[in-house]
Amino acid sequence: MTPQQLKIRRMLSDRQGILLAHYYVRPEIQAIADVLGDSLALAQAAAKSEAKVIVFAGVHFMAQSAAMLAPEKTVLLPCLDAGCPLADMADTDAVRKMRQEQPDAVFVTYINSTAAVKAQSDICCTSSNAMKIVRALPEDKKVILLPDGNLARHVASVTGRNIVAWEGCCPVHQALTADDVLARRREYPQAPFAAHPECRPEVLTLADFIGSTSAILNYARESAAEVIIIGTEEGILTELRKHNPQKTFIFASPELYCGDMKKITLDSIEQSLTTMQPVITVDENVTQAARRALDNMLAAS
């Protein structure tokens, strides 16, 4: 570890804190995280942790979820403007209006959403558990899955359920095109292609494997292929190389980079632990409703 990494670890220990980090954040932060994972694993860790302080290396909606699942803890997000364009594509008033128009539908909300939108939902999901969540719903119920339309369409195609898709998208995954994938396949004709379900439908039809970030990591470990084409954010490369040093990973596009995930730095984490700011809180009324949707997800996972 570098001197700064060691200092951060000491500060976390002194404050009885833990560092939760998403697979997409900077490698030097992944290296010192107490828990490194995808959205589901991090939500579970926040709910179960006995720490007094949670430092979240991720984006705003993730820290909000941690604050709601662990209201007795102090949740710090070192960079307040680390946001998620996908989460912003579901407007609370529009979702509320849709609920009024579809009173009998089950609203399944992707964890990549604001606390206020989660509060309008029946249950949350992640890309890791979306299939399981939807399959467990009553078959006579209409399902509305928001805000990621690509995820909704993929879940519908696999489960056979009639799912109404909200037309939001992750700009990073949406930027990946079928032409990008075909170009990589011409360069590496023997390489399988592993894609995240937030990708476009025409990209997913080209995939040999479709799964969440953690599922792609498992696929890479288990695959006999020496070269694998990856269709998700480039931060995953740290873990891919760590567990598969003998394999080569080719990203399907240079556009697979999330600037928001990279906003949190070692400097901002150190500053946050020094000042114990910025603290993420959620309005109590919003928390009560959103927490119910999150708890329903965790209970079903």
Q: Which residues pair with 22 in a beta bridge?
A: 37
Under the banding of pLDDT at 50, 70 and 90, the label for residue 40 is confident
Q: Assess whether pLDDT exceeds 90 at residue 258.
A: yes
- Listed in sequence order, the residues at least 6 apart from 287 whose beta carbon sits closer than 8 Å to its beta carbon are 67, 68, 71, 115, 119
Quote the tokens at residue 96.
């509320």
| H runs (alpha helix) in 223-283 | 237-243, 266-275
pLDDT, residue 39, reads 84
Determine phi and psi for 120, rounding to 5 degrees: -90, 5
Quote the tokens at residue 297.
């997800």
CA separation for the pair 57, 76 (Å, rounded): 9
Question: How high is the mean pLDDT of the chain?
Answer: 96
Per mean pLDDT, which range of 28-32, 37-41, 173-177, 183-187 is the poorest? 37-41
pLDDT, residue 301, reads 78
| H runs (alpha helix) in 102-137 | 115-118, 130-135
Are the C-beta atoms of residues 216 and 230 closer than 8 Å to each other? yes
pLDDT, residue 224, reads 97
pTM: 0.94
Q: Please give the radius of gyration of the chain, using alpha carbons only, rounded to the nearest integer.
A: 19
pLDDT, residue 247, reads 98
Are the C-beta atoms of residues 108 and 151 closer than 8 Å to each other? no
Q: Which residues pair with 144 in a beta bridge?
A: 107, 164
* Average pLDDT score over residue span 131-154: 96
**Intra-chain end-to-end CA distance of the chain, in Å:** 35
Under the banding of pLDDT at 50, 70 and 90, the label for residue 185 is very high
Q: How confident is the model over 226-249, as pLDDT tens digits?
A: 999 999 999 999 999 999 999 999
Quote the tokens at residue 99.
């609920």
pLDDT, residue 279, reads 97
Under the banding of pLDDT at 50, 70 and 90, the label for residue 223 is very high
pLDDT, residue 265, reads 98
- Listed in sequence order, the residues at least 6 apart from 226 whose beta carbon sits closer than 8 Å to its beta carbon are 246, 247, 248
pLDDT, residue 43, reads 87
Sheet of 35-37: strand order equals 35-37, 17-22, 53-57, 74-76
pLDDT, residue 72, reads 93
- One-letter amino acid of 158: V
pLDDT, residue 112, reads 94
Domains of the chain: residue spans and CATH: 3-84+261-281 (3.40.50.10800), 87-169 (3.40.50.10800), 176-251 (3.40.50.10800)
Q: Assess whether pLDDT exceeds 90 at residue 191.
A: yes
CA separation for the pair 11, 119 (Å, rounded): 34
pLDDT, residue 127, reads 93
| H runs (alpha helix) in the chain | 3-14, 27-30, 39-48, 60-69, 92-101, 115-118, 130-135, 149-159, 171-174, 178-187, 201-204, 213-222, 237-243, 266-275, 284-300
* Average pLDDT score over residue span 188-217: 97
Percent of the chain with pLDDT over 70: 100
SS3 195: strand
Percent of the chain with pLDDT over 90: 95
Q: Assess whether pLDDT exceeds 90 at residue 300.
A: no
